[in-house]
């Protein structure tokens, strides 16, 4: 915490120095959303290059002055929280002054900018992100406050903890981990008792694009148990993108890649080639939208696709057919096809990429 306080004090001292010299204060931060600042490393995923381009938030520029003020406001809130050892969610910060901040996304963006500028993970800034992910299966652990959590015995899922770093005494006999894109599929597998039927496993869903805590938990479970991790996504550009976030990270959070990515993650399904292999009827597939085409083209250009020839083939197949499918498409074969046939066969015969 002394490191965090010192980092904030240095920023404020620079502001005061500029004012004393009658210069306009400036906050300088790395340009997080610029692909030119990102390098791809097999062992880490997408990470920020050391000497990347920066942008300046200036007080003497009408466009950036409001952001400058909001950054100082949130820095002062973080400083007080670190001093008093209290925590707040991004939502708490927004609701502390909704008129000032204007929207939740403004707060989220500024917190990521501050984290990147100070080179300190968000958790150490005493800011918690609200969790939307679920975990179930063969896993038990103790939360920071001493609460014992057992995911094994419940037919319902457990919410991903809001302080992943603080959990300890992790115990599991799981043989693998399955990341499921959507809540509905996750619940269906839970109802079918998938976690126990085949062999003990851990199931996680970020319910769409994963939040920070879900990604941190996947990474923590990987560090702790070193078991294979598979993803079950829709066969569409959006599903592929979500899988890439778990595996390689995202551009906007590349400065924290080391804690968030698991490059060993495998693509289990739903593969575009599965649709042909299983003779899925064309009338249950969904035609691409313009947006789908755009997203797929952008994914195909990304640096990590070049080192995944099998993935490349699947994406080319998707691009050629201009058709996408949700995991639920398997119910057109039989209502429990996913848990009874598809997943057991894939896991037994190595049908992943």
Positions annotated as catalytic residues are 95
Q: How far apart are CA 262 and CA 256, in angstroms?
A: 13
Separation in Å, CA 248 to CA 7, 32, 42, 349: 29, 16, 9, 25
């Amino acid at each position: 915490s002394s490191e965090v306080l010192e980092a904030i004090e240095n920023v404020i001292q620079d502001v005061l120095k500029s004012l004393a010299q009658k210069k306009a204060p400036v906050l300088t931060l790395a340009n997080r959303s610029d692909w030119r600042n990102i390098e791809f490393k097999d062992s880490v995923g997408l990470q920020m290059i050391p000497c990347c381009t920066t942008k300046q938030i200036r007080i003497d520029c009408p466009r950036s002055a409001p952001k400058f003020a909001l950054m100082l406001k949130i820095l002062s809130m973080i400083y007080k929280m670190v001093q008093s050892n209290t925590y707040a969610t991004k939502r708490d910060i927004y609701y502390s002054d909704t008129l000032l901040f204007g929207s939740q996304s403004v707060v989220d963006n500024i917190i990521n900018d501050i984290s990147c500028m100070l080179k300190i993970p968000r958790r150490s800034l005493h800011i918690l992100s609200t969790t939307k992910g679920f975990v179930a299966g063969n896993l038990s652990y103790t939360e920071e406050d001493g609460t014992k959590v057992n995911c094994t015995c419940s037919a319902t899922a457990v919410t991903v903890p809001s302080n992943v770093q603080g959990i300890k005494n992790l115990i599991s006999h799981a043989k693998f981990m399955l990341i499921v894109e959507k809540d509905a599929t996750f619940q269906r597998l839970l109802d079918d008792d998938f976690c126990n039927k085949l062999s003990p496993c851990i199931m996680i869903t970020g319910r769409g694009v994963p939040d920070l805590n879900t990604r941190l938990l996947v990474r923590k479970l990987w560090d702790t148990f070193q078991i294979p991790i598979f993803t079950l996504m829709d066969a569409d550009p959006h599903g592929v993108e979500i899988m890439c976030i778990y595996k390689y990270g995202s551009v906007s959070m590349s400065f924290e890649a080391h804690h968030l990515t698991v490059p060993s993650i495998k693509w289990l399904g739903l593969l575009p080639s599965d649709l042909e292999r299983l003779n899925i009827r064309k009338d249950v597939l969904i035609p691409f939208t313009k947006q789908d085409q755009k997203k797929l083209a952008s994914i195909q250009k990304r640096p990590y696709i070049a080192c995944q020839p099998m993935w490349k083939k699947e994406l080319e197949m998707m691009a050629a057919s201009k058709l996408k499918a949700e995991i639920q498409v398997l119910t057109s074969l039989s209502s429990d096809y996913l848990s009874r046939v598809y997943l057991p066969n894939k896991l037994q015969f190595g049908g992943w990429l």
